[in-house]
Structure 1
Amino acid sequence: MMVKEYNLSHIDLTKADIVLRGYAGWNSRRALQNLDKIFPKDATDQPSLIIVYFGGNDSMHPHPSGLSPHVPLQEYIENMKKIAIHLKSLSKKTRIIFLSSPPINEVQMHETLSDLLGPLRRTNEACRTYSEACLELCHEMNVKAIDLWSALRQRHDWLDVCFTDGIHLSNEGSKIVAKEILKVLREADWEPSLDWKSMPVEFAEDSPYEPIGADENTHIDVSNWNNIQGKSQLEMSNCALTKGFSSVD
């Protein structure tokens, strides 16, 4: 899933380091094969939060040649379970959010991608099945999960505005994903909290180099602005190294 234009890195990140990493065409099988390389257990610093998305490519119907991203449902579930176990073992403070498979616009997908990729063996029904499996697994393992299948479909015009090509998310689609992630961060009962309002500011001491307010006397603490350029609220945490681990469909 490619999240374009509007994502967590576009929110003012004076309080967090965001690492976005998508692997083109990957499925849960390939992710599991490379998991130790991407998230080594012996790393000096471990991320505070890891957001994981796999499922869209896995859900594609098998190709007659056997050479496709398809992963059978039960194997997908086992792969995601092993990924969650590994990530949980990184540190006591590493938190995890799984994103379920979002819906697709099948008509738009065939119109825009068939010439390049040939007949596309991807359906909304399969996306729904893998989405439900991911959510059920997360419930069993006590892993935070976001139901993107339902979140995108809450918009009455989701088919028209949420995709660039029927699969990859547009600006509007990305806004929905970011909103859902920020909601989890805000409401999770994690200790320490990863909601930016609950975290101390790095280098919080007063500085003579901060902007002067309208009263021509008071310094403005930019790191605590609730609104930057009128477009976004700060919703991230101080010193939280956040990694996104996903396929780019």
Structure 2
Amino acid sequence: MVGPVRPQFVLFGSSIVQFSYSHLGWGSILSDLYARKADIVLRGYSGWNSRRAVKVLDEIFPKNATEQPSLIIVYFGGNDSLLPHPSGLGQHVPLQEYIENMRKIGTHLKSLSNMTRIIFLSAPSVNEAQIYGDSELVGQRLRTNESCRIYSEACLELCREMNIKAIDLWSALQKRDDWRDVCFTDGIHLTAEGSKIVAKEILKVIKEADWEPSLQSSSMPTEYGEDSPYDPIGPDGNTTINISNRTFYGTVQWK
């Protein structure tokens, strides 16, 4: 591990997480906003469902780790919600099993530390027309927006029961009238516009949470943020400008 040790924010989930640095994704937005404040750690596994995730909880999140994450953002549900294939193969997980798997994940993560905060992302909506076009996918339409809704609501209900912060991605993406046209690269995965919605929802939860200490980027110390004579020279030619808190995206649009 390189130092100094920073707070860790872990993104854990399937392809929505793995691809969160693509297309100006929501993971890259968080990394930029938390530069020099927290390390955004990517643990995304394309194609995974909750059944596979629970098998590796102890490996990815060992309880005896010296340092535990300050925040863990979890996303599973989109693949679980696929309709079952006649062969019995594939990513589908029955609804009740999905709920219990997410309960296991939540219970494990809660046990890591009293200071570990958790946010669950629910199954997002999908654009079926974009996924399938004019033909069936291997003869089956397994991914439907309605099934995503059912699994999303189940995740949100579990989070209310377990007192875990949750984001309703299924509804959040559909707040835009043109969501089908602008939110997806392929009907499932997110464009830059779709990721902006996810990032704003995450930052809203962080801002409104009564967590102590706060995990808002503006409230966290900047590593080596003190003024320095080695900073860029200011317009007057006699002073320097501290640029330690500047980011590519800026902060105004995320407030």
CA separation of 1:215/1:180 partners in 2, compared to 1, >3 Å: closer, same or farther? farther
Of the candidates 116, 133, 137, which is equivalent to residue 111 of structure 1?
133
Aligned residue type for 1:87: L
Q: Given the alignment of the two structures, is residue 169 of structure 1 paired with residue 186 of structure 2, yes or no?
A: no
The structure showing larger relative contact order (alpha-carbon pairs under 8 Å, at least 6 residues apart) is: 1
Aligned equivalents of 1:40, 1:71: Cα separation in 2: 25
Residue 85 (structure 1) shift: 0.7
CA separation of 1:31/1:127 partners in 2, compared to 1, >3 Å: closer, same or farther? same
Aligned equivalents of 2:210, 2:94: Cα separation in 1: 34
Residue 31 (structure 1) shift: 0.1
Residue 109 (structure 1) shift: 0.3
Matches for 1:1-249 after TM superposition, within 5 Å: 1=16, 2-3=19-20, 4-6=22-24, 7-10=26-29, 11-12=32-33, 13-111=35-133, 119-225=140-246, 228-229=247-248, 231-233=249-251
Question: Would you say the 8 A contact 1:197–1:235 is kept in 2?
Answer: no
What stretches of structure 1 of length at least 5 have no aligned partner? 237-249
Aligned residue type for 2:251: Q
Q: TM-score under structure 1 normalisation?
A: 0.86
Residue 97 (structure 1) shift: 0.4
Structure 1 stretches of at least 4 aligned residues deviating more than 4 Å after TM superposition:
112-115
Q: Secondary structure at the match of 1:224?
A: coil
Q: Secondary structure at the match of 1:21?
A: strand
Residue 159 (structure 1) shift: 0.2
Q: Secondary structure at the match of 1:223?
A: coil
The number of residues matched between the two structures is: 232
CA separation of 1:162/1:45 partners in 2, compared to 1, >3 Å: closer, same or farther? same
Q: Secondary structure at the match of 1:181?
A: helix
Aligned equivalents of 2:252, 2:107: Cα separation in 1: 31
CA separation of 1:16/1:71 partners in 2, compared to 1, >3 Å: closer, same or farther? same
CA separation of 1:234/1:21 partners in 2, compared to 1, >3 Å: closer, same or farther? farther
Residue 173 (structure 1) shift: 0.6
Q: TM-score under structure 2 normalisation?
A: 0.84
| Superposition RMSD in Å | 2.1
Question: Would you say the 8 A contact 2:225–2:244 is kept in 1?
Answer: no
Residue 15 (structure 1) shift: 1.5
Residue 201 (structure 1) shift: 2.3
Aligned equivalents of 2:136, 2:156: Cα separation in 1: 30
Deviations 1:1-52 (A, max 9, x none): 2433222434241222111221121000100011111111111111111000
Aligned equivalents of 1:113, 1:18: Cα separation in 2: 39
Deviations 1:78-101 (A, max 9, x none): 110110110111111111000001
What stretches of structure 2 of length at least 5 have no aligned partner? 1-15
Q: Is 182-191 or 48-57 further displaced after alignment?
A: 182-191
Aligned equivalents of 1:78, 1:127: Cα separation in 2: 17
